[in-house]
Amino acid sequence: MKFLHNPPRFVFFTGKGGVGKTSVACAAAMELAERGRRVLLVSTDPASNIGQVFGLTIGNTVTPIVAIAGLSALEIDPEQAADAYRERIIAPVRGLLPERELASIAEGLSGSCTTEVASFDEFTDLLTDDSLLTTYDHIVFDTAPTGHTIRLLQLPGSWTEFLDAGKGDPSCLGPLSGLEKHKTVYAAAVAALADPARTRLVLVARAQASAVAEIDRTFGELEQIGILGGYVVINGVLPNQAGTEPIATAVRNREEAALSGIPARLAALPRDILELKAGNMVGVAALRTLFRPGADRADSQTRVDVPDAPLGAFVDELEPTGHGLILCMGKGGVGKTTIAAALAVALAQRGHAVHLTTTDPAAHLAATLHGSLPGLRVSRIDPEEAIREYRDHVMATKGKNLDDDGRAALAEDLLSPCTDEVAVFRQFSQAVHESRHEFVIVDTAPTGHTLLLLDATGAYHREIARQMGEGMAFVTPLMRLQDPALTKVLLVTLAETTPVLEAAGLQDDLVRAGIQPWGWVVNNSIAAAHPETPFLQARAANEAIQIDEVHARADRVAIVPLLADEPIGVDRLAALTARAPQTA
């Protein structure tokens, strides 16, 4: 493996959820330990399952992996870190402020920004602690800090004074106010990340256009803040033993197309390609096969039958109201855009007015539809335009009476990525309003961004409630999202461990916000395509376990099979909601 040749002390694995980062990181840590190195494997992933991989309970204390000499593991629990972080901020004023004010502060620190910054605060020690550096030869991280998080830490050095002086809204600075370490410590951590002699960045993707686009975006963000160089791992490429049945041939064609179209800056990096394995990467024996082509074989045929759950049944239930808001939510790369477009086409073909829109900067609705349809209107909430309008509005209002230094600090604060979702919300709320008269189907951004947007919705709701006072009637976007008669939330996932775990986490977050998901869509299911070869049947058997997990959590489920042809264009999208989509 090129990415394991002469590795430095820190090795970071990053990429979209569900591409196999954890498997690759665990196998890499094992490989280094079996070379006689002392290795600490650390997860900063909210959906981490390294404990499941090794069959151990691993928490926020260093735990030896008994089966592998020299290997230990640690899981940084983002939610636990965020809880402790909030307590550090609130504890000093508890008893001094009214409970309502304390609750407001806690709510302001409940978003994804707080979780990201709190997690970074936790693992900064791992980058700068001299005792750890003498104990371990390598520290392997499952999930690198995002460019988003690092940019937060590079905001102006005057942000604490800016907040204390009350010169503006905190935005991302609220979460930052709880950081205990001096900014020079964070600067040292960022410097370690940017030094190729100390840190290696490994970008993990599947041979899929969306996954490759994600690591390209991540690499571009990190380049902008001085983290240069890297290695690419393309994981899960279909092996020859998958056979030549139509589904296997179609998958290979898509993989070849994705790899031939890899962006130039990624193509210039060293690259390793790992074959898809028949079984799950659980246990030491399975992990040892990951870097060895053909090391696992599926020789026995076990046909798996999954329940019939057509997407068309969802359309039958959604149609009678004649209007409403439909939110397709989930991780990036699970096919939200396709599912949203398929529902929009089906409802428009049944004679309804439909507005299909996206809040996802990476979405390509026009390319997915590849045509037009009477009654269907397509739009995109342009994040760049929304952000520009929002920044101009804030500078013209909150910045109006500031001096030059204050305006400069406020302007730089507004460059923080956490302001982006607040800006997009201003346009999103208009789509919520339209759903009273027509179907509005929203292809939302990936999960973390969506939660920030919902945080903004909740903040707006609370502000309106405060302004209106008791006894005044009002309706806010959050109230519409909480109304099951108006809003239907669909969680889109793949039948794989990480996407299902993250969708389950999103469901829990939505329920806490008073929003009950209406249904789940399992997309691109190999099991639902009824494969014939032993290899794909073994993969289908693994999917069946995850599909059972979905059924245990969902009120209603639709399963969309993996198709031989990409569902692009009105006709193929319409086929997705037919009673029996063509799989070959």
Residues recognised as catalytic = 18, 20-23, 45, 498
How far apart CA 507 and CA 497 sit, in angstroms, is 15
How far apart CA 309 and CA 409 sit, in angstroms, is 54
User: Cα–chain-centroid distance for residue 80?
Assistant: 19
How far apart CA 219 and CA 227 sit, in angstroms, is 8
How far apart CA 399 and CA 371 sit, in angstroms, is 45
Q: Torsions phi, psi of 500, nearest 5?
A: -70, -40
User: Does residue 117 contact residue 18 with C-beta atoms inside 8 Å?
Assistant: no
Cβ density class 202-229: b for 16+ within 10 Å, e for less: bbbbbbbbbbbbbbbbbbebbeeeebee
User: Does residue 357 contact residue 443 with C-beta atoms inside 8 Å?
Assistant: yes
User: Does residue 505 contact residue 46 with C-beta atoms inside 8 Å?
Assistant: yes
The 8-class DSSP code of residue 278 comes to S
Query: Who contacts 217 (Cβ-Cβ below 8 Å, separation ≥6)?
Result: 362
Tell me the CA distances in angstroms from 91 to 83, 95, 97, 102, 431, one per residue in order: 12, 9, 11, 10, 40
How far apart CA 27 and CA 31 sit, in angstroms, is 6
Q: Torsions phi, psi of 122, nearest 5?
A: -65, -45
Query: Under DSSP, is residue 202 helix (H, G, I), strand (E, B) or coil?
Result: strand
Look at the chain and count its residues: 584
- By DSSP bridging, strand 63-64 and strand 71-75 are antiparallel
How far apart CA 522 and CA 149 sit, in angstroms, is 31
User: Does residue 30 contact residue 2 with C-beta atoms inside 8 Å?
Assistant: no
Cβ density class 343-359: b for 16+ within 10 Å, e for less: bbbbbbbeebbbbbbbb
How far apart CA 545 and CA 550 sit, in angstroms, is 9
Burial classification of residue 304, based on how many CB atoms lie within 10 Å of its CB (0-12 exposed, 13-18 middle, 19 or more buried): buried
